[in-house]
Structures are given as structure tokens and as C-alpha cells.
Amino acid sequence: MEITEHMPYMEQIDSEIMDKVLKLTEEYDYNKYTERDVLEAIEKDYIDFKDYGALLSPVAFKYIEKIAQKAKAETFKHFGNSVCLFTPLYIANYCENQCIYCGFNCSNQIKRGALTYEEIETEVQNIAKTGLKEILLLTGEAPTITGVEYIGEAVKICKKYFTNIGIEVYPMNSDEYAYLQKCGADFVSVYQETYNLKEYDKNHPKGPKRCFPYRFNAQERALLGGMRGVAFGCLLGLSDDFRKDAYAAGCHAFLIGQKYPQGEISFSVPRIRPFINNEKNGPKDVFERELLQVMLSYRLLMPYAEITISTREAPKFRNNIVGLCATKISAGVRVSVGGHDEEAKGDEQFEISDPRSVKEVTEMLKNKGLQPVFTDYIYV
């Protein structure tokens, strides 16, 4: 199957955004930027794609401190001192795809499982006891086992305990997103992993995820289905050119935000973490310095967008990035299927670097003079 080929059930919407993003990314040459371009971008109130490209360029490293100061001011302007807390809950790890960078890859011999509705309720009750009001539900991509109705029931259970529910499952059609929105879901996260078609092809040898455009247009279908917000990102370090991938993810989010101004936009910034079969991969490393540059650039491109920092990153980095540009932080995280109650029902997707509890992360935020926020949106 070609990566541009849709399977019969995949909805195709009339959208120009993918072509625009791929063209912009192809034309993006980060080596052509000068220090002057970077300084001009820092001085502007609103930056365009050229400025954004300058901030992501290697030459911008020299001004990272200045960029950070600007990003901090922008974050404060739009979010004040507040930082939202949430936790992910993996409800299943079955998957039909063979993404070579992922522990849930269907060719990996791992313990697989899907929580029953009773088990989901128990997990959710345990999470709710920590005080959290926002949850992110995750599955692999196995619609025959964890179909839209299963996810919908899980969302309904969460709705009893949480005010904000995100789903990070698999790309769906707009009517399926509409159904999940009616069940109570607020946010949809779909990460493109890489915007480089050749790398995408190489890293996704099997399964429905091979269809690049269906994945690319998922946020748009989610907004057409009535979701309140959508999240973007690429798996930094997956392709050999993280700058181009980050540039593409920013352009993608920005253009969706322009077309759907009612949609709340957020970014996540996953990096490759160790997992089984890791030696098969050959990513160029993205160190914390590069990760910081990407996050600061997202902030200046879309000052009002939420930026999430996950437990893939070390506590020290997470502590420093909140208030600077990150506005949402996970806490009390398990990346196995279940595991907030007793024994996990399925293996983990990756290793986490920050095992701190909700209480510990809350304390950290308070000690930094930040305001931990559990509910930032109320339906009336």
C-alpha cells in the first residue's frame, strides 16, 4: 500500500492544508538564516513562517537566552502563572501498526490487554482521588478490539469524574469524532511523527497508519466533528531532520488555527525514548537544548497555544520548562495498560523519566510561584 493511498473506510475531506505544509517544509532551508533574521524575529509581536524558521535555525542557538525571555513574557501574557495538570490512562495496547519506534508495534511480543469497563472505572476512581480533573485516554490502533464505541464508553465513565477529557487513540472520520464529542471528549491528539514522506514510509511498514494524508487531516476532521481542541506534534529525532519536522508541525498547527479559530490548539513534544528493538532505529539525537529551542519556537509562533511537557523528560528539565513555555504537565503517570490500581494489564509503551506523584508535581509548581490548575474550563 502506498502511503498516499486511503483505505475504503477512510473519509477524505477537501483541504488544502497538507499541500501547503509540505511545500513550506520542502522550501525551508534553516541554513540560510542569519543572526539578524533571528534578532528581528525576537523583536516582533507576531511572527510569520519566515521568522519561525529563523528561530528554529542552528544560528538561533546563540540567542537562546533572549528567545527564552521573550517566550516567558508571552507565556505569562496569555496564561499568567497557571499550569494545568493531567494524567494519561492507557486503556489498551493492542495495535495493528508496525511503527518501528514503538513498543506497542504489532510485531513485538509484549503482554497485551484492554481494560474492561469495570477496570476503567476503578482506574479512573483511583486517579480522581489524586485531585486531578483532566485525563488523557490512550489506546493503540486496533479498531476491531478497541472500537469507537469502546472508547466512547470509556469517555462516558471518565466524564463522571473529570472536567476535561482528551483522547490519543487513532485517526477517525468526522462522524466518529462527533460521536466521541457527544460522549464527553474535549480534545484529540494525533501526532504526525514525521512530515518527511520517505521517513514516514520507512517507519510505518504496515497497518492503516501508513496512510499519511488520513493521519495529517485528523485534526481537521476532529474539529469538523465538534471537538473543542486538537493537539499537534512530531516525534523529534525520528527523522534525521528534527528542524524540518518541528517547522512542519508548527505550520500545520498554525494553518489549522487560522482556518478554525474556535479550535484550541496545543503542542506536544515527544522525543524517542528507549524501548525494545531500539537498536533497529537510527535517529539523530535531539538533546534537551534542541528540545528547548523547538518549544520556545512553538511558543513564539502561537503564543496562545497550550504546550504540554510529558514524563518522557527528566524532572529537572520539566521543572525549568513550566512557566517558561510549557503550560500543561503530566503527573502520577503510568504508561502500562492500567496500573493505577494493582497489577498492569498490559506492558508499557516506553520508559518514563519522571515518576513523581500529583502531590509532588503540585508542590514543585507552588515552590516556583506557579499556580497548579486542575480545572480550566467549565461547561455551562
What is the contact surface with ligand SF4 in residues (CB under 6 A)? 95, 97, 99, 102, 104-105, 140-141, 209
- Helices 174-183 and 148-159 cross at an angle (nearest 10°) of 30
Residue with smaller CB distance to ligand SF4, 98 or 164:
98
Least distance from ligand SF4 to the Cβ atom of residue 309, Å = 19
C-beta separation of 167 from 155 below 8 A: yes
Nearer to ligand SF4, 93 or 297 (CB): 93
Residues composing the chain: 380
CA distances from 105 to 82, 93, 183, 279 (A): 37, 9, 29, 15
Q: How far is the CB of 112 from ligand SF4 (least distance, A)?
A: 11
Q: How far is the CB of 143 from ligand SF4 (least distance, A)?
A: 11
Supply the minimum distance, in Å, between the C-beta of residue 36 and ligand SF4: 40
Q: Could you give the count of Cα atoms lying within 13 Å of 286 in the half-sphere of its Cβ?
A: 27
Residue 38 or 337 having the CB closest to ligand SF4 = 337
Kindly tell me which of 140 and 184 has the beta carbon lying closer to ligand SF4: 140
Helical spans, DSSP H, in the chain:
17-27, 35-43, 49-55, 64-79, 117-128, 148-159, 174-183, 197-203, 212-216, 218-224, 242-259, 288-301, 315-321, 358-367
Nearer to ligand SF4, 102 or 309 (CB): 102
* DSSP-derived secondary structure letter, 94: -
> In whole angstroms, what is the distance from residue 296 CA to residue 294 CA?
6
The Cα 295–Cα 307 span in angstroms is: 8
Q: Which is nearer to ligand SF4, 85 or 235 (CB)?
A: 235
